[in-house]
Amino acid sequence: MLRIVNGRVHDPSHGVGGEVRDIYIQDGRIVSGEGLDPAQARDMETLDAAGCAVLPGGVDIHSHIAGAKVNSGRIMCPEDHYGHVRAATDVTRPGCGLIVPSTYETGYLYSQLGYTTVFEAAVPPIEARHAHEELMDIPMLDTGCFAVMGNNYLVMKVLNDPDPVRRRERLRGLVPWLLRASRAFAVKVVNPGGVEDWKWNAGAADLDTPTPPFGVTPRQIVTGLAEAVDSLGLPHPMHLHCNHLGDPGNVETTLATMETLSGHRTHFTHLQYHAYGRTKKGGFTSGAARLAEYLDAHPEFTCDVGQIVFGNTLTMTSDAPMEFKLHKMRGAKWGNCDIEMEGGSGLVPVRYAPKVLVNAIQWAVGLELLLLIKNPWQVFLTTDHPNAGPFTAYPEIIRLLMDADYRRSWLEKLHPRVRRRTVLFDLDREYDLDEIAVITRAGTARRLGLSSKGHLGAGADADVAVYPILSDKAAMFSRPRFVLKQGELVVRDGQIVAERTGRTLCVAPEGYRQLPEDLAETFAGCYTVKLANYMVEDEYLRRPEVVPCG
Amino acid sequence: MHTHVKLTLRTPPDLPVDAQSLIPESFVGKDQADIGALPLLLGNRSVTVADFFDVAILPADPGDGRTEEAREGGTLHLCGDLSRFKHIGEQMACGRVVVDGSVGSHAGAFMTGGALDVNGEAGDYLGAHMSGGRITVRGSAGHFVGAAYRGYVFGMTGGSICIHGDAGHMVGARLRRGLVAVGGSCGDLAAYGMRAGTVLIGGKSRVRAGANMVRGTVILLTPPEAIMPTFRYNCVYCPGFWPILHASLAGLGLDFPGVSPQAVFESYSGDINEGGRGEILLCRNAN
Ligand SMILES: [Zn+2]
């Protein structure tokens, strides 16, 4: 057994807000200290957390850390690897990169921030094998991936069925089959219909634009999949990247999507990119307040922000048309991949600069969402790593949330017009440690349906992060005193002291065991792989853990 | 005052050596012991300069005083076959490195100033990403002279590279600014994807010179087998800059017998796939 003593525990799931408590750990789980013989307690291995905040291990709900596009990013951005090199130590392997780190480096960097669980947010089923191979190579973290379905040919073919009962029934069979084929954890939808639309050169998809080749609309795709996810009782709701990412005025599309989905549990990802109003001349403004108001009234919805981090980064998404637009706009390097039958993907390096008005507004919009949405259980901290910035910037963002004076000090570094186009600098709210614990671990774990993560109650996984309490919150969260993974000390004073292999989290809902004949025929006729080679086998999962459906 | 340090290689190593420390900046003002203790990487093992070289600190060579670079930053004089020593002169910003012998790959990469003179051969990626200063190679150089490393948009962004012998493939690939002049012949894809700047090839160039070039000038003094079909013939003329470039190359010791300062050139625009704003100048009265 192991105990962590004298620390101020922040466990919002159990209403514990900074009281000094001891945490007991046995066999990788947190156990109750009640009824423990004091002599026995004194003899066990003890970590002294005096002057520290004890939080559950961080849970990142949306990041891009493995798979085809991350690897393409590594190939495209050697400068990132030249610039950040880690030498091997007795316990760690060498690694490089910050924006698209190598696999081991990804695990180390997350662990050094106190994160213990991370989800890869976009894996087309046909690329899942590669994604899992990389996830297996990432130490220190429990991982899982979301299967992209919003532009999937088979899904659209089923949605095209005019009989609503049969359509629902078939989708309820197909979605579990795709999840099983990719050994994924949740259903991800990226620019529903829009990617397919672009591949047919049809232009940008609005909610009711019929998408070739079946004429299914984005509205039908999101409602169909949201219904299927709800009826299957998947632990995590539909994870939605809306249409028109990055366009001025796209808040209208986002609100219309929310209205369509009201009543269905939905997670709106990197909402910052979908929260822009439009001036009369077509310029950018913030639409965050309208979205915050909507979310306040709809507890079935959650979002993560995708907070902009100033500096160089690399955008990578299944939203291929958006990347093409970005490439044309910036003249930067561009990587593009047509994911046969299942969508697309693209990569473009970008630099977010505080003096560029659009970037400054984007930066402010993310913080506005975090500060305006009243319930912290509905908004989570992400940078959509690495799209809006690398996850290593989380401590800096936490400082912006916890320190209003520091936030205001940014005003002079930003483009002067940002003051008129956003409300950020009129907001005085400061997050406290409990709220930070919600948006970085408790809330994300709950939204992901992980009952053993994001809290410190008896029975929880012993993933724990202990931070020294400092007035500079960026310093506090960038160098944890201790990090425990499955009950083992892996980070001490910000340095990796042991390497642990995590688990792969997946789901196993009831659905098609085999594709029905017509879909199997479509598959055989159109895919470049055989059906028998498509499913990811068990050996591609390291220590799989099936999270039950409710 | 300035330093003149001479390192003489005793025995060439069997393994490649990472010699990033061999730039004038790391020698100025140091005594013999300090210099001997400078680090090198042999294979994956750390070694020192003294493990390979005899170190001598010389009085200022009157010959050095003539070059401005040496006056500013000191002279590092390397003797012996250094063809397994990589990264010599990498990131140097001032001073002068003279090598009596050959150097390995990445010599003068990311250089921002000063001078690197190689009285021998050079390896691949000579002067890759350099942004200032000048490199002279008396012998031949490998592939990717002044080029970009994989994945970068721009290669060399300033300075000049002058090679008296031949060069390999992709001379000046993704060049952004500056001059690469090759006295001898070169391999395939000279000036590939060049954004701007000047690439001059004295001898024969192999296929697809100027492919995907956006802007800039490729000067070919010897006619190639073919000009790419994505280049459009313009005219025959006598470029105003040629007498000046001719004279300055002669100053660097690059002479082209049979090509006079009044030479006449055929002009081609291309690569049309990239907008057609670049040019290839083909010397008419070369033999
Ligand atoms: Zn994302």
How many angstroms does the Cα of residue A62 sit away from the middle of ligand 1?
Answer: 6
Sorting pLDDT into bands at 50, 70 and 90, what band is B264?
very high
> In the predicted model, is pLDDT for residue B50 greater than 80?
yes
**Average pLDDT rounded to a whole number, residues A258-268:** 95
pLDDT tens column, B93-106: 999 999 999 999 99
- What part of B 150-189 touches A (C-beta under 8 Å)? 150-153
The answer to whether B219 and B200 are in contact (CB under 8 A) is yes
Sorting pLDDT into bands at 50, 70 and 90, what band is B157?
very high
Chain B residues touching A76 at Cβ < 8 A: 151
Q: What is the mean pLDDT of chain A?
A: 94
> Tell me, which fold does domain A54-505 have in CATH?
TIM Barrel (3.20.20)
Res B188: pLDDT: 97
**Average pLDDT rounded to a whole number, residues B55-61:** 82
Res B43: pLDDT: 87
Q: Distance from B151 to chain A by nearest Cα, in Å?
A: 5
pLDDT tens column, A536-545: 988 888 889 9
Percent share of chain A, pLDDT over 90: 88
Res B63: pLDDT: 58
pLDDT tens column, B218-254: 999 999 999 999 999 999 999 999 999 999 999 888 9
**Average pLDDT rounded to a whole number, residues A501-516:** 94
pLDDT tens column, A123-172: 999 999 999 999 999 999 999 999 999 999 999 999 999 999 999 999 99
Res B67: pLDDT: 61
Q: Which of A3-12, B31-40, B63-72, B260-269 has the lowest mean pLDDT?
A: B63-72
Q: Distance from A333 to chain B by nearest Cα, in Å?
A: 7
**Average pLDDT rounded to a whole number, residues A408-427:** 94
Percent share of chain B, pLDDT over 90: 84
Sorting pLDDT into bands at 50, 70 and 90, what band is B1?
very low
> In the predicted model, is pLDDT for residue B61 greater than 70?
no
Beta strands in A228-334 (DSSP E): 238-241, 266-268, 276-278, 284-286, 301-304, 311-317
Interface A–B counts its CB contacts (< 8 A) at 12
Res B2: pLDDT: 56
Mean pLDDT: which of A339-343, A347-351, B140-144 is highest?
Answer: B140-144
pTM of the model: 0.88
Question: Per the CB < 8 Å rule, is A78 touching B150?
Answer: yes
Res A414: pLDDT: 96
Strand partners, A145: A120
**Average pLDDT rounded to a whole number, residues A195-205:** 82
> In the predicted model, is pLDDT for residue B287 greater than 50?
no
Strands A301-304 and A266-268: parallel
Question: Per the CB < 8 Å rule, is A78 touching B153?
Answer: no
Question: Per the CB < 8 Å rule, is B151 touching A78?
Answer: yes
CA–CA distance, A137 with A508 (Å, rounded to integer):
23
In three-state form (DSSP H/G/I as H, E/B as E, the rest C), the secondary structure along A371-408 is HHCCCHHHEECCCCCCCCCCHHHHHHHHHHHHCHHHHH
**Domains of chain A by residue range:** 54-505
Measured in whole angstroms, the distance separating CA A446 from the mean position of its chain's CA atoms is 14
The answer to whether A3 and A33 are in contact (CB under 8 A) is yes
**Average pLDDT rounded to a whole number, residues A28-53:** 90
Measuring CA to CA, how many Å separate B123 from each of A238, A542, B158, B249?
55, 44, 20, 22
Alpha helices in A244-333 (DSSP H): 251-261, 288-297, 320-330
The dihedral built from the CA positions of residue A550, A509, A193 and A326, taken in this order, carries a sign that is positive
CA–CA distance, A440 with A477 (Å, rounded to integer):
11
Alpha helices in chain B (DSSP H): 32-36, 49-52, 68-73, 242-251
ipTM score assigned to the predicted complex? 0.70
Res A35: pLDDT: 81
Chain A residues touching B87 at Cβ < 8 A: none
Q: Is B44 on the interface with A (CB under 8 A)?
A: no
> In the predicted model, is pLDDT for residue B79 greater than 80?
yes
pLDDT tens column, A80-117: 998 899 989 999 999 999 999 999 999 999 999 999 99
Strand partners, B236: B266
How many angstroms does the Cα of residue A217 sit away from the middle of ligand 1?
Answer: 22
Res B258: pLDDT: 87
Sorting pLDDT into bands at 50, 70 and 90, what band is A205?
confident
